[in-house]
Amino acid sequence: MTDAPLTAIADESAYGEAVQLAVDAAAAYYADGTSTIDDDVYDRLVRGIEAYEKEHPEQVLPGSPTGKVAGGAVVGDVPHTVPMLSLDNVFGAEQLADWAASLERRLARPVTVWSVEPKLDGLAISARYRRGRLAQLVTRGDGVAGEDVSHAIGTIDGLPDRLAEPVTVELRGEVMMTASQFEDACAKRQAHDGTTFANPRSAAAGTLRAQDRPYVCELTFFGYGALPAPADTSDLAVRLRELPHSEVMAWVAGQGVRTTATTPVAGIVATTVEQVQERVEQIAAARAELPFGIDGIVIKCDLAADQVQAGFSSRAPRWAIAYKLPAAEKITKLLAVEWNTGRTGIIAPRAVLEPVELDGSIVTYATLHNAADIGRRGLMLGDSVVVYKAGDVIPRVEAPVVHLRTGDERPIEIPAACPHCGDAIDASQERWRCVRGRACRAIASISYAAGRDQLDIEGLAENRIQQMLDAGLIADFADLFTLTREQLLDLERMGETSTDNLLAALERAKGRPLSRVFCALGVRGTGRSMSRRMARHFGTMEAIRAADAEAIQQVDGMGPEKAPVVIAELAEVAPIIDKLIAAGVNMTEPGVVPAATATAAAAAGAEPGAEAGAEEAAEPGAGLPLAGMTVVVTGAMSGALESLSRNEMNELIERAGGKASSSVSAKTSMLVAGEKAGSKRTKAEGLGVRVVTPEEFAELVGELV
Instruction: Report the catalytic residues.
Output: 119
Strand-pair category, 347-358 with 396-400: unpaired
Question: How many CB atoms sit inside 10 A of residue 485's CB?
Answer: 12
Contact, 522 vs 438, CB < 8 A? yes
What's the CA gap between 274 and 271, in Å, rounded? 9
What's the CA gap between 317 and 308, in Å, rounded? 10
Q: What is the largest CA-CA distance in the chain?
A: 90
What's the CA gap between 693 and 699, in Å, rounded? 10
By the 10 Å C-beta count (0-12 exposed, 13-18 middle, 19+ buried), 643 is classed as exposed
What strands, in cross-sheet order, belong to the sheet with 690-692? 659-661, 630-634, 670-673, 690-692
Contact, 610 vs 602, CB < 8 A? yes
What's the CA gap between 30 and 74, in Å, rounded? 7
593: left (phi over 0), alpha (psi -120 to 50) or beta: beta
What's the CA gap between 176 and 508, in Å, rounded? 56
DSSP state of 622: T
Residues contacting residue 9 through CB under 8 Å, at least 6 positions apart: 15, 18, 48, 49, 51, 52, 394
Q: What is the dihedral of CA 548, 553, 558, 563, to 10 degrees?
A: 30
Helix or strand run (H / E) with residue 348: strand 347-358
Residues contacting residue 497 through CB under 8 Å, at least 6 positions apart: none
Contact, 466 vs 499, CB < 8 A? no
Q: Give Cα separations from 318 to 273, 399, 521 (angstroms).
A: 16, 39, 44
What's the CA gap between 118 and 221, in Å, rounded? 14
By the 10 Å C-beta count (0-12 exposed, 13-18 middle, 19+ buried), 30 is classed as buried
DSSP string computed for 290-346: -SS-EEEEEEEE-SHHHHHHH-B-SSSBTTEEEEEPPPPEEEEEEEEEEEEE-TTSB
Please say whether the dihedral angle defined by the alpha carbons of residues 468, 470, 471 and 472, taken in this order, is positive or negative: positive
Residues contacting residue 335 through CB under 8 Å, at least 6 positions apart: 352, 353, 354, 381, 382
